Amino acid sequence: MTDLIISLLTGALGGNIAGALLKKFSMGTLWNSVVGILGGGLGAQLLGMLGLDLGELIGSIAGGTAGGGVLMVVIGIIKNALGK
């Protein structure tokens, strides 16, 4: 349960970091966080399914941050494409 919470929190962090670095795809702090939380949960699960053993805590942080950032960028690209 702790790993899931860490993944979700680091996902929100990853979404906001990606939004700050890639302003073109940013959706604002709230939506970057929401999408990052979803991506964080998915990213940590994906790392677990791939069998990458980085240690539970490090894996949760890495998967959450990366997943949150990647999903935020993907959603930002889709949003920008639909807005044109």
Predicted pLDDT at 4: 84
The first and second tokens of residue 4, run together, are 């899931």
**pLDDT, tens digit (0-9, with 9 covering 90-100), for 19-66:** 999 999 999 999 999 999 999 988 888 877 887 666 778 878 888 899
Asked, for residue 56, whether it belongs to a domain, the answer is yes
- Label residue 82 by pLDDT band (50, 70, 90): very high
The pTM of this model reads: 0.82
Note whether residue 68 is domain-resident.
Answer: yes
Residue 74 placed within a domain: yes
Residue 84 lies in a domain: no
In a domain, 11, yes or no: yes
6: three-class secondary structure by DSSP: helix
Question: 3-state DSSP call for residue 26?
Answer: coil
Q: How many domains does the chain have?
A: 1
Task: Examine residue 27 and state whether it is found in any structural domain, yes or no.
Answer: yes
What domain range is 8 assigned to? Answer: 2-79
> Torsions phi, psi of 53, nearest 5?
-95, 90
Q: Is residue 66, in this structure, part of any structural domain at all?
A: yes
Whether 51 maps to a domain, the answer reads yes
